[in-house]
Structure 1
Protein backbone atom coordinates (compact mmCIF):
# COMPACT_ATOMS: atom_id res chain seq x y z
CA UNK A 1 0.00 0.00 0.00
CA UNK A 2 1.26 3.42 -0.95
CA UNK A 3 0.14 6.85 0.33
CA UNK A 4 -2.93 8.24 -1.40
CA UNK A 5 -2.31 11.64 0.19
CA UNK A 6 1.51 12.01 -0.01
CA UNK A 7 1.28 15.58 1.27
CA UNK A 8 0.42 14.08 4.66
CA UNK A 9 3.38 11.70 4.90
CA UNK A 10 4.98 12.47 8.30
CA UNK A 11 8.00 14.74 7.98
CA UNK A 12 10.02 14.85 11.22
CA UNK A 13 12.10 17.76 9.90
CA UNK A 14 9.13 20.13 10.29
CA UNK A 15 8.98 22.51 13.22
CA UNK A 16 6.50 21.74 15.98
CA UNK A 17 4.25 24.55 14.76
CA UNK A 18 4.36 23.14 11.21
CA UNK A 19 3.54 19.64 12.47
CA UNK A 20 0.55 20.95 14.40
CA UNK A 21 -0.64 22.91 11.35
CA UNK A 22 -0.40 19.75 9.23
CA UNK A 23 -2.43 17.86 11.82
CA UNK A 24 -5.21 20.42 11.50
CA UNK A 25 -5.21 19.82 7.74
CA UNK A 26 -5.34 16.05 8.34
CA UNK A 27 -8.30 16.49 10.70
CA UNK A 28 -10.07 18.52 8.02
CA UNK A 29 -9.47 15.71 5.51
CA UNK A 30 -10.50 12.92 7.91
CA UNK A 31 -14.02 11.47 7.79
CA UNK A 32 -15.27 10.41 11.19
CA UNK A 33 -18.27 8.61 9.75
CA UNK A 34 -18.79 5.18 8.24
CA UNK A 35 -17.36 4.68 4.77
CA UNK A 36 -16.35 1.01 4.78
CA UNK A 37 -16.67 -1.79 2.27
CA UNK A 38 -17.81 -3.80 5.31
CA UNK A 39 -21.36 -3.22 6.50
CA UNK A 40 -21.26 -1.78 10.05
CA UNK A 41 -24.69 -3.31 10.66
CA UNK A 42 -23.18 -6.80 10.38
CA UNK A 43 -20.37 -6.26 12.88
CA UNK A 44 -20.79 -8.53 15.86
CA UNK A 45 -24.30 -9.62 14.86
CA UNK A 46 -25.71 -13.09 15.46
CA UNK A 47 -25.79 -15.55 12.53
CA UNK A 48 -28.92 -16.46 10.66
CA UNK A 49 -29.50 -19.89 9.07
CA UNK A 50 -27.46 -18.88 6.03
CA UNK A 51 -25.00 -16.35 7.43
CA UNK A 52 -21.81 -16.77 9.40
CA UNK A 53 -21.11 -14.68 12.51
CA UNK A 54 -17.81 -13.35 11.23
CA UNK A 55 -16.44 -9.90 11.85
CA UNK A 56 -18.15 -7.36 9.66
CA UNK A 57 -19.65 -9.78 7.15
CA UNK A 58 -20.23 -7.93 3.92
CA UNK A 59 -23.73 -7.05 2.80
CA UNK A 60 -23.87 -9.78 0.15
CA UNK A 61 -22.30 -12.53 2.27
CA UNK A 62 -19.01 -12.38 0.35
CA UNK A 63 -15.62 -13.28 1.82
CA UNK A 64 -14.88 -12.08 5.36
CA UNK A 65 -13.09 -8.73 5.46
CA UNK A 66 -9.37 -8.26 5.88
CA UNK A 67 -8.46 -6.63 9.19
CA UNK A 68 -4.93 -5.44 9.99
CA UNK A 69 -3.39 -4.64 13.37
CA UNK A 70 -0.51 -2.18 13.70
CA UNK A 71 1.90 -1.87 16.62
CA UNK A 72 5.43 -0.68 17.28
CA UNK A 73 8.51 -1.64 19.25
CA UNK A 74 11.78 0.24 19.66
CA UNK A 75 15.46 -0.62 19.55
CA UNK A 76 17.49 2.41 20.54
CA UNK A 77 16.65 5.14 18.05
CA UNK A 78 14.89 2.78 15.65
CA UNK A 79 11.17 2.06 15.41
CA UNK A 80 10.07 -1.44 14.47
CA UNK A 81 6.60 -1.27 12.93
CA UNK A 82 4.69 -4.55 12.72
CA UNK A 83 1.50 -5.30 10.80
CA UNK A 84 -0.48 -8.51 11.21
CA UNK A 85 -3.31 -9.18 8.76
CA UNK A 86 -6.25 -11.43 9.61
CA UNK A 87 -9.13 -12.81 7.61
CA UNK A 88 -11.89 -14.64 9.47
CA UNK A 89 -9.65 -14.81 12.55
CA UNK A 90 -6.72 -16.41 10.71
CA UNK A 91 -3.37 -14.70 10.14
CA UNK A 92 -2.80 -14.35 6.39
CA UNK A 93 0.20 -12.00 6.36
CA UNK A 94 2.80 -10.43 8.64
CA UNK A 95 5.21 -7.67 7.64
CA UNK A 96 7.48 -5.27 9.48
CA UNK A 97 9.77 -2.35 8.75
CA UNK A 98 12.53 -0.63 10.69
CA UNK A 99 13.15 3.11 10.48
CA UNK A 100 15.17 5.55 12.57
CA UNK A 101 13.22 7.88 14.82
CA UNK A 102 14.43 11.39 14.15
CA UNK A 103 12.57 13.22 16.90
CA UNK A 104 11.93 12.43 20.58
CA UNK A 105 8.51 11.53 21.93
CA UNK A 106 6.34 14.66 22.09
CA UNK A 107 2.75 14.25 23.33
CA UNK A 108 0.37 14.76 20.42
CA UNK A 109 3.07 14.37 17.73
CA UNK A 110 3.56 10.61 17.90
CA UNK A 111 2.82 10.10 14.21
CA UNK A 112 5.84 12.21 13.20
CA UNK A 113 8.06 9.93 15.29
CA UNK A 114 6.53 6.57 14.32
CA UNK A 115 4.57 7.20 11.13
CA UNK A 116 7.48 6.69 8.76
CA UNK A 117 8.07 3.14 9.98
CA UNK A 118 4.35 2.34 9.78
CA UNK A 119 4.07 3.57 6.20
CA UNK A 120 7.24 1.63 5.29
CA UNK A 121 5.61 -1.54 6.66
CA UNK A 122 2.40 -0.89 4.71
CA UNK A 123 4.52 -0.55 1.54
CA UNK A 124 5.53 -4.20 2.07
CA UNK A 125 1.95 -5.42 2.46
CA UNK A 126 0.43 -7.54 -0.32
CA UNK A 127 -3.11 -7.57 1.13
CA UNK A 128 -5.23 -4.43 1.16
CA UNK A 129 -7.09 -4.23 4.49
CA UNK A 130 -10.75 -3.33 4.76
CA UNK A 131 -9.95 -1.71 8.10
CA UNK A 132 -6.87 -1.20 10.26
CA UNK A 133 -6.63 -1.11 14.05
CA UNK A 134 -3.72 1.02 15.23
CA UNK A 135 -2.10 0.99 18.66
CA UNK A 136 -2.55 4.71 19.32
CA UNK A 137 -5.12 7.48 19.28
CA UNK A 138 -7.41 8.48 16.46
CA UNK A 139 -9.81 11.38 16.92
CA UNK A 140 -9.13 11.46 20.66
CA UNK A 141 -6.27 13.87 20.13
CA UNK A 142 -5.58 17.56 20.72
CA UNK A 143 -6.15 18.28 17.02
CA UNK A 144 -8.25 15.19 16.14
CA UNK A 145 -5.24 13.77 14.26
CA UNK A 146 -3.69 11.00 16.31
CA UNK A 147 -1.57 8.19 14.86
CA UNK A 148 -4.59 6.23 13.55
CA UNK A 149 -6.02 9.32 11.86
CA UNK A 150 -2.70 10.35 10.34
CA UNK A 151 -2.06 6.88 8.91
CA UNK A 152 -5.69 6.33 7.88
CA UNK A 153 -5.96 9.61 5.99
CA UNK A 154 -2.54 9.26 4.33
CA UNK A 155 -3.42 5.77 3.04
CA UNK A 156 -7.16 6.54 2.74
CA UNK A 157 -8.06 3.34 4.58
CA UNK A 158 -10.70 2.94 7.32
CA UNK A 159 -8.81 3.15 10.60
CA UNK A 160 -9.48 2.84 14.32
CA UNK A 161 -7.30 4.07 17.17
CA UNK A 162 -6.91 1.72 20.14
CA UNK A 163 -5.06 3.37 23.03
CA UNK A 164 -4.35 2.22 26.56
CA UNK A 165 -4.65 5.65 28.18
CA UNK A 166 -6.70 8.80 27.63
CA UNK A 167 -4.81 11.60 25.88
CA UNK A 168 -7.52 14.26 26.04
CA UNK A 169 -11.26 14.76 26.18
CA UNK A 170 -13.73 14.10 28.99
CA UNK A 171 -15.31 10.71 29.73
CA UNK A 172 -18.95 10.71 30.82
CA UNK A 173 -17.99 8.64 33.86
CA UNK A 174 -14.84 7.90 35.83
CA UNK A 175 -12.49 5.45 34.14
CA UNK A 176 -11.12 4.27 37.48
CA UNK A 177 -14.16 2.21 38.46
CA UNK A 178 -14.67 -1.50 37.81
CA UNK A 179 -17.00 -2.00 34.85
CA UNK A 180 -18.37 -5.22 33.32
CA UNK A 181 -17.28 -6.35 29.89
CA UNK A 182 -19.25 -4.54 27.19
CA UNK A 183 -19.45 -1.22 29.02
CA UNK A 184 -18.95 1.80 26.79
CA UNK A 185 -18.28 5.22 28.23
CA UNK A 186 -18.60 8.10 25.75
CA UNK A 187 -15.68 10.52 25.57
CA UNK A 188 -16.41 14.06 24.42
CA UNK A 189 -14.27 16.97 23.33
CA UNK A 190 -13.45 19.66 25.84
CA UNK A 191 -11.11 22.66 25.85
CA UNK A 192 -8.12 20.34 25.34
CA UNK A 193 -9.37 19.52 21.81
CA UNK A 194 -8.80 22.64 19.80
CA UNK A 195 -10.34 21.60 16.48
CA UNK A 196 -13.94 20.72 17.36
CA UNK A 197 -16.75 22.00 19.55
CA UNK A 198 -16.97 21.07 23.22
CA UNK A 199 -19.33 18.16 23.72
CA UNK A 200 -18.57 16.49 20.39
CA UNK A 201 -18.33 12.73 20.88
CA UNK A 202 -14.82 11.74 19.81
CA UNK A 203 -14.69 8.13 21.01
CA UNK A 204 -15.39 5.69 23.82
CA UNK A 205 -13.75 3.91 26.70
CA UNK A 206 -14.54 0.26 25.95
CA UNK A 207 -14.37 -2.47 28.59
CA UNK A 208 -13.17 -5.55 26.73
CA UNK A 209 -12.02 -7.71 29.67
CA UNK A 210 -12.50 -7.76 33.43
CA UNK A 211 -11.27 -9.72 36.43
CA UNK A 212 -13.67 -11.79 38.51
CA UNK A 213 -11.87 -10.65 41.68
CA UNK A 214 -13.48 -7.86 43.69
CA UNK A 215 -10.06 -6.47 44.58
CA UNK A 216 -8.66 -6.00 41.09
CA UNK A 217 -9.95 -4.43 37.92
CA UNK A 218 -8.83 -3.89 34.32
CA UNK A 219 -9.07 -0.41 32.86
CA UNK A 220 -10.99 0.04 29.61
CA UNK A 221 -9.38 0.67 26.23
CA UNK A 222 -9.62 4.14 24.72
CA UNK A 223 -11.14 3.67 21.27
CA UNK A 224 -11.64 6.38 18.68
CA UNK A 225 -12.30 6.65 14.95
CA UNK A 226 -9.24 7.31 12.82
CA UNK A 227 -10.69 7.71 9.34
CA UNK A 228 -13.84 6.56 7.49
CA UNK A 229 -15.26 5.05 10.69
CA UNK A 230 -17.83 6.48 13.12
CA UNK A 231 -17.20 6.49 16.87
CA UNK A 232 -19.79 3.79 17.57
CA UNK A 233 -18.52 1.59 14.73
CA UNK A 234 -14.95 1.93 16.02
CA UNK A 235 -16.14 0.50 19.35
CA UNK A 236 -18.08 -2.24 17.50
CA UNK A 237 -14.94 -3.26 15.62
CA UNK A 238 -12.85 -3.47 18.76
CA UNK A 239 -15.46 -5.54 20.58
CA UNK A 240 -15.91 -7.83 17.58
CA UNK A 241 -12.16 -8.54 17.31
CA UNK A 242 -11.48 -9.08 21.02
CA UNK A 243 -11.08 -12.75 21.88
CA UNK A 244 -10.59 -13.24 25.61
CA UNK A 245 -7.85 -10.64 25.97
CA UNK A 246 -7.96 -6.94 26.72
CA UNK A 247 -6.53 -5.98 23.33
CA UNK A 248 -8.30 -6.80 20.07
CA UNK A 249 -6.61 -9.70 18.29
CA UNK A 250 -5.14 -7.68 15.41
CA UNK A 251 -3.19 -5.31 17.67
CA UNK A 252 -2.43 -8.01 20.24
CA UNK A 253 -0.81 -10.14 17.56
CA UNK A 254 0.93 -7.10 16.07
CA UNK A 255 2.35 -6.30 19.51
CA UNK A 256 3.71 -9.84 19.80
CA UNK A 257 5.13 -9.76 16.28
CA UNK A 258 6.76 -6.37 16.91
CA UNK A 259 8.64 -7.88 19.85
CA UNK A 260 9.62 -10.86 17.71
CA UNK A 261 10.87 -8.60 14.91
CA UNK A 262 12.65 -6.38 17.41
CA UNK A 263 14.80 -9.34 18.47
CA UNK A 264 16.20 -9.57 14.94
CA UNK A 265 17.25 -5.91 14.80
CA UNK A 266 20.95 -5.41 15.53
Structure 2
Protein backbone atom coordinates (compact mmCIF):
# COMPACT_ATOMS: atom_id res chain seq x y z
CA UNK A 1 0.00 0.00 0.00
CA UNK A 2 0.98 3.65 -0.37
CA UNK A 3 1.88 4.97 3.06
CA UNK A 4 0.01 8.17 4.00
CA UNK A 5 3.12 9.54 5.77
CA UNK A 6 6.23 8.04 4.14
CA UNK A 7 8.19 11.09 5.27
CA UNK A 8 7.93 9.78 8.85
CA UNK A 9 9.22 6.26 8.12
CA UNK A 10 11.90 5.10 10.59
CA UNK A 11 15.44 5.45 9.25
CA UNK A 12 18.16 3.70 11.23
CA UNK A 13 20.89 5.73 9.52
CA UNK A 14 19.79 9.00 11.17
CA UNK A 15 21.71 10.59 14.00
CA UNK A 16 20.09 10.27 17.43
CA UNK A 17 19.04 13.93 17.55
CA UNK A 18 17.36 13.56 14.15
CA UNK A 19 15.54 10.41 15.29
CA UNK A 20 14.21 12.23 18.35
CA UNK A 21 13.16 15.20 16.23
CA UNK A 22 11.27 12.84 13.90
CA UNK A 23 9.50 11.30 16.89
CA UNK A 24 8.32 14.74 17.97
CA UNK A 25 6.87 15.25 14.48
CA UNK A 26 5.08 11.92 14.81
CA UNK A 27 3.65 12.87 18.20
CA UNK A 28 2.39 16.14 16.72
CA UNK A 29 0.66 14.20 13.92
CA UNK A 30 -0.80 11.54 16.22
CA UNK A 31 -4.46 11.56 17.29
CA UNK A 32 -4.79 10.36 20.88
CA UNK A 33 -8.58 10.07 20.83
CA UNK A 34 -11.10 7.69 19.29
CA UNK A 35 -11.29 8.02 15.50
CA UNK A 36 -12.44 4.72 14.01
CA UNK A 37 -15.57 3.20 12.50
CA UNK A 38 -16.32 0.16 14.71
CA UNK A 39 -17.87 -0.27 18.15
CA UNK A 40 -15.15 -1.34 20.63
CA UNK A 41 -17.81 -3.27 22.58
CA UNK A 42 -17.92 -5.71 19.66
CA UNK A 43 -14.45 -6.95 20.58
CA UNK A 44 -15.60 -8.49 23.88
CA UNK A 45 -18.34 -10.63 22.33
CA UNK A 46 -17.13 -12.12 19.06
CA UNK A 47 -19.98 -14.65 18.87
CA UNK A 48 -22.58 -11.88 18.98
CA UNK A 49 -20.81 -9.80 16.36
CA UNK A 50 -20.36 -12.83 14.12
CA UNK A 51 -24.15 -13.25 14.01
CA UNK A 52 -24.86 -9.53 13.58
CA UNK A 53 -25.49 -7.93 10.18
CA UNK A 54 -22.24 -5.96 10.45
CA UNK A 55 -18.83 -7.52 9.83
CA UNK A 56 -16.82 -7.91 13.04
CA UNK A 57 -13.75 -5.65 13.16
CA UNK A 58 -10.43 -7.13 12.09
CA UNK A 59 -7.76 -6.76 14.78
CA UNK A 60 -4.08 -7.46 14.07
CA UNK A 61 -1.45 -8.24 16.69
CA UNK A 62 2.20 -7.41 15.93
CA UNK A 63 5.27 -8.84 17.65
CA UNK A 64 8.96 -9.38 16.95
CA UNK A 65 11.59 -12.06 17.29
CA UNK A 66 15.27 -11.89 16.41
CA UNK A 67 17.70 -14.10 14.54
CA UNK A 68 21.40 -14.40 15.24
CA UNK A 69 24.40 -14.87 12.99
CA UNK A 70 27.16 -17.45 13.36
CA UNK A 71 28.88 -15.24 15.94
CA UNK A 72 25.80 -15.12 18.14
CA UNK A 73 24.91 -11.49 17.40
CA UNK A 74 21.38 -10.42 16.56
CA UNK A 75 21.45 -9.35 12.93
CA UNK A 76 17.89 -9.83 11.64
CA UNK A 77 14.39 -9.06 12.89
CA UNK A 78 11.44 -11.35 12.30
CA UNK A 79 8.20 -9.39 12.41
CA UNK A 80 5.03 -11.42 12.91
CA UNK A 81 1.45 -10.27 12.33
CA UNK A 82 -1.68 -12.22 13.25
CA UNK A 83 -5.05 -10.89 12.04
CA UNK A 84 -8.23 -11.96 13.85
CA UNK A 85 -11.92 -11.43 13.18
CA UNK A 86 -14.79 -12.55 15.37
CA UNK A 87 -12.35 -14.35 17.66
CA UNK A 88 -10.80 -16.41 14.84
CA UNK A 89 -7.40 -16.14 13.15
CA UNK A 90 -7.92 -15.20 9.51
CA UNK A 91 -4.35 -14.51 8.39
CA UNK A 92 -0.73 -14.75 9.54
CA UNK A 93 2.24 -13.14 7.82
CA UNK A 94 5.85 -12.49 8.72
CA UNK A 95 8.94 -10.85 7.26
CA UNK A 96 12.65 -11.18 7.99
CA UNK A 97 14.83 -8.12 7.47
CA UNK A 98 18.29 -6.96 8.59
CA UNK A 99 18.65 -4.97 11.78
CA UNK A 100 20.14 -1.53 11.23
CA UNK A 101 20.85 -0.40 14.80
CA UNK A 102 21.16 -1.92 18.28
CA UNK A 103 18.42 -1.57 20.89
CA UNK A 104 18.29 1.97 22.28
CA UNK A 105 15.59 2.79 24.87
CA UNK A 106 13.07 5.17 23.35
CA UNK A 107 14.18 4.50 19.75
CA UNK A 108 12.67 1.04 19.30
CA UNK A 109 10.80 1.99 16.12
CA UNK A 110 14.07 2.79 14.33
CA UNK A 111 15.24 -0.77 15.04
CA UNK A 112 11.95 -2.64 14.51
CA UNK A 113 9.75 -0.28 12.49
CA UNK A 114 11.14 -1.16 9.06
CA UNK A 115 10.70 -4.92 9.55
CA UNK A 116 7.16 -4.38 10.83
CA UNK A 117 6.21 -2.22 7.85
CA UNK A 118 7.53 -4.92 5.51
CA UNK A 119 5.49 -7.62 7.28
CA UNK A 120 2.35 -5.49 7.12
CA UNK A 121 2.78 -5.22 3.36
CA UNK A 122 2.16 -8.97 3.21
CA UNK A 123 -1.34 -8.74 4.67
CA UNK A 124 -4.20 -9.31 2.24
CA UNK A 125 -6.78 -8.07 4.76
CA UNK A 126 -7.17 -4.50 5.96
CA UNK A 127 -7.28 -4.47 9.78
CA UNK A 128 -9.50 -2.00 11.62
CA UNK A 129 -7.13 -1.92 14.59
CA UNK A 130 -3.51 -2.84 15.36
CA UNK A 131 -2.12 -3.93 18.72
CA UNK A 132 1.66 -3.70 19.11
CA UNK A 133 3.93 -5.36 21.63
CA UNK A 134 5.43 -2.05 22.73
CA UNK A 135 4.47 1.46 23.78
CA UNK A 136 2.29 4.11 22.22
CA UNK A 137 1.98 7.45 23.99
CA UNK A 138 3.73 6.10 27.11
CA UNK A 139 7.04 7.21 25.65
CA UNK A 140 9.60 9.96 26.26
CA UNK A 141 8.46 11.84 23.15
CA UNK A 142 4.91 10.38 23.02
CA UNK A 143 5.90 8.34 19.98
CA UNK A 144 6.42 4.68 20.81
CA UNK A 145 6.30 2.04 18.11
CA UNK A 146 2.48 1.86 18.14
CA UNK A 147 2.32 5.61 17.53
CA UNK A 148 5.09 5.59 14.92
CA UNK A 149 3.58 2.82 12.78
CA UNK A 150 0.02 3.98 13.44
CA UNK A 151 0.75 7.48 12.13
CA UNK A 152 2.77 6.30 9.12
CA UNK A 153 -0.09 4.04 8.01
CA UNK A 154 -2.83 6.27 9.50
CA UNK A 155 -4.50 3.34 11.25
CA UNK A 156 -5.98 2.96 14.76
CA UNK A 157 -3.24 1.51 16.96
CA UNK A 158 -2.67 0.58 20.60
CA UNK A 159 0.60 -0.10 22.44
CA UNK A 160 0.71 -2.96 24.94
CA UNK A 161 3.96 -2.99 26.95
CA UNK A 162 5.09 -5.34 29.70
CA UNK A 163 7.11 -2.67 31.53
CA UNK A 164 6.69 1.05 32.16
CA UNK A 165 9.05 3.13 30.03
CA UNK A 166 8.18 6.48 31.59
CA UNK A 167 5.37 8.30 33.33
CA UNK A 168 3.99 7.87 36.84
CA UNK A 169 1.08 5.70 38.02
CA UNK A 170 -1.45 7.69 40.01
CA UNK A 171 -1.86 4.75 42.42
CA UNK A 172 0.04 1.67 43.51
CA UNK A 173 0.13 -1.00 40.77
CA UNK A 174 1.22 -3.98 42.89
CA UNK A 175 -1.11 -6.97 43.24
CA UNK A 176 -4.09 -5.33 41.58
CA UNK A 177 -7.36 -7.26 41.18
CA UNK A 178 -8.16 -8.43 37.65
CA UNK A 179 -10.01 -5.78 35.69
CA UNK A 180 -8.34 -2.87 37.49
CA UNK A 181 -6.85 0.03 35.60
CA UNK A 182 -4.58 2.72 37.04
CA UNK A 183 -3.98 5.96 35.12
CA UNK A 184 -0.44 6.70 34.02
CA UNK A 185 0.35 10.40 33.87
CA UNK A 186 3.22 12.26 32.24
CA UNK A 187 6.14 13.29 34.39
CA UNK A 188 9.31 15.27 33.66
CA UNK A 189 10.59 12.48 31.39
CA UNK A 190 7.71 12.93 28.91
CA UNK A 191 7.43 15.70 26.32
CA UNK A 192 4.05 16.97 27.48
CA UNK A 193 2.67 18.77 30.54
CA UNK A 194 3.06 16.94 33.84
CA UNK A 195 -0.13 15.16 34.81
CA UNK A 196 -1.29 14.50 31.23
CA UNK A 197 -3.04 11.13 30.98
CA UNK A 198 -0.86 9.06 28.63
CA UNK A 199 -2.16 5.54 29.29
CA UNK A 200 -3.12 2.98 31.91
CA UNK A 201 -1.67 0.15 33.91
CA UNK A 202 -4.19 -2.58 33.07
CA UNK A 203 -4.55 -5.71 35.17
CA UNK A 204 -5.97 -8.26 32.76
CA UNK A 205 -5.38 -11.34 34.94
CA UNK A 206 -4.42 -12.05 38.55
CA UNK A 207 -3.51 -15.10 40.65
CA UNK A 208 -5.94 -16.14 43.36
CA UNK A 209 -3.13 -16.32 45.89
CA UNK A 210 -1.60 -13.95 48.48
CA UNK A 211 1.89 -15.29 47.77
CA UNK A 212 2.33 -14.32 44.13
CA UNK A 213 0.89 -11.83 41.70
CA UNK A 214 0.88 -10.90 38.03
CA UNK A 215 2.20 -7.50 37.01
CA UNK A 216 -0.09 -5.25 34.96
CA UNK A 217 0.32 -4.37 31.31
CA UNK A 218 1.04 -0.77 30.35
CA UNK A 219 -1.46 0.14 27.66
CA UNK A 220 -1.39 3.40 25.76
CA UNK A 221 -2.98 4.94 22.67
CA UNK A 222 -0.87 4.75 19.55
CA UNK A 223 -2.97 6.62 16.99
CA UNK A 224 -6.69 7.32 16.54
CA UNK A 225 -7.52 5.63 19.86
CA UNK A 226 -8.10 7.35 23.21
CA UNK A 227 -6.48 6.12 26.44
CA UNK A 228 -9.72 4.85 28.00
CA UNK A 229 -10.65 2.93 24.86
CA UNK A 230 -7.14 1.48 24.62
CA UNK A 231 -7.54 0.09 28.15
CA UNK A 232 -11.02 -1.22 27.31
CA UNK A 233 -9.64 -3.01 24.26
CA UNK A 234 -6.81 -4.65 26.20
CA UNK A 235 -9.25 -5.98 28.78
CA UNK A 236 -11.76 -7.13 26.17
CA UNK A 237 -9.18 -9.06 24.15
CA UNK A 238 -7.33 -10.70 27.05
CA UNK A 239 -9.67 -13.67 27.11
CA UNK A 240 -7.78 -16.29 29.12
CA UNK A 241 -4.24 -14.92 29.29
CA UNK A 242 -2.45 -11.79 30.44
CA UNK A 243 -1.74 -10.53 26.92
CA UNK A 244 -4.55 -9.53 24.57
CA UNK A 245 -5.14 -12.47 22.26
CA UNK A 246 -3.90 -10.91 18.98
CA UNK A 247 -0.58 -9.96 20.60
CA UNK A 248 -0.27 -13.29 22.39
CA UNK A 249 -0.80 -15.18 19.14
CA UNK A 250 1.63 -12.90 17.27
CA UNK A 251 4.22 -13.66 19.96
CA UNK A 252 3.71 -17.41 19.48
CA UNK A 253 3.76 -17.09 15.71
CA UNK A 254 7.02 -15.11 15.84
CA UNK A 255 8.65 -17.98 17.75
CA UNK A 256 7.19 -20.55 15.35
CA UNK A 257 8.39 -18.67 12.26
CA UNK A 258 11.80 -18.18 13.84
CA UNK A 259 12.18 -21.94 14.31
CA UNK A 260 11.23 -22.51 10.70
CA UNK A 261 13.81 -19.99 9.51
CA UNK A 262 16.49 -21.54 11.74
CA UNK A 263 15.71 -25.03 10.41
CA UNK A 264 16.09 -23.95 6.78
CA UNK A 265 19.24 -21.88 7.35
Query: Is the shorter-chain TM-score for this pair beyond 0.5, marking a shared fold?
Result: yes
Give the SS at the match of 2:111: helix
Report whether the alignment pairs 1:231 with 2:227: yes
Aligned to 2:26: 26
Q: Deviations over 1:168-203 (max 9, x none)?
A: 00001122x211110000000010002x11111000
Provide the TM-score with structure 2 as the length reference: 0.93
State the superposition RMSD in angstroms.
1.6
Is 1:121 paired with 2:119?
Answer: yes
Report what 1:211 is aligned to.
207
Q: As a proportion of its length, which structure holds more helix?
A: 2
User: Cα distance, 1:3 vs. partner?
Assistant: 2.0
SS at match of 1:244: coil
The equivalent residue for 1:75 is 67
Gaps of 5+ in 1: 45-52
Q: 1:162 matched to which residue of 2? A: 160
TM value normalised by structure 1: 0.92
Distance 1:261 1:178, change over 3 A: same
Query: What is residue 191 of structure 1 aligned with on the other side?
Result: 188
- Cα separation, 2, equivalents of 1:251 and 1:154: 20
| C-alpha displacement of 1:85 | 0.2
> Hey, what does 1:181 align to over in structure 2?
178
Helix, strand or coil: the match of 1:129? coil
1:49 alignment partner in structure 2: none
Superposed CA offset, 1:136-172 (max 9, x none): 0000000000000001000110000000000000001
Name stretches of at least 5 consecutive residues in structure 2 with no aligned partner: 69-74
Deviation at 1:42, TM superposition (A): 5.2
* 1:263 partner SS: helix
Write out aligned runs for 1:1-266 (5 A): 1-40=1-40, 44=44, 53-54=45-46, 61-76=53-68, 77-175=75-173, 177-194=174-191, 196-265=192-261, 266=265
Q: Aligned pairs, how many?
A: 255
Distance 1:156 1:183 in 2: 30
Map Cα deviations across residues 213-266 of structure 1 (whole Å, 9 max, x no partner).
Answer: 110000000000000000000011111111110000000000000001111223
Distance in 2, matches of 1:145 and 1:37, equals 23
Tell me the CA shift for residue 24 of structure 1: 0.2
In the alignment, the residues of structure 2 paired with residue 56 and residue 33 of structure 1 have an alpha-carbon distance, to the nearest angstrom, of: 26
1:39 is displaced (CA, Å) by: 2.4
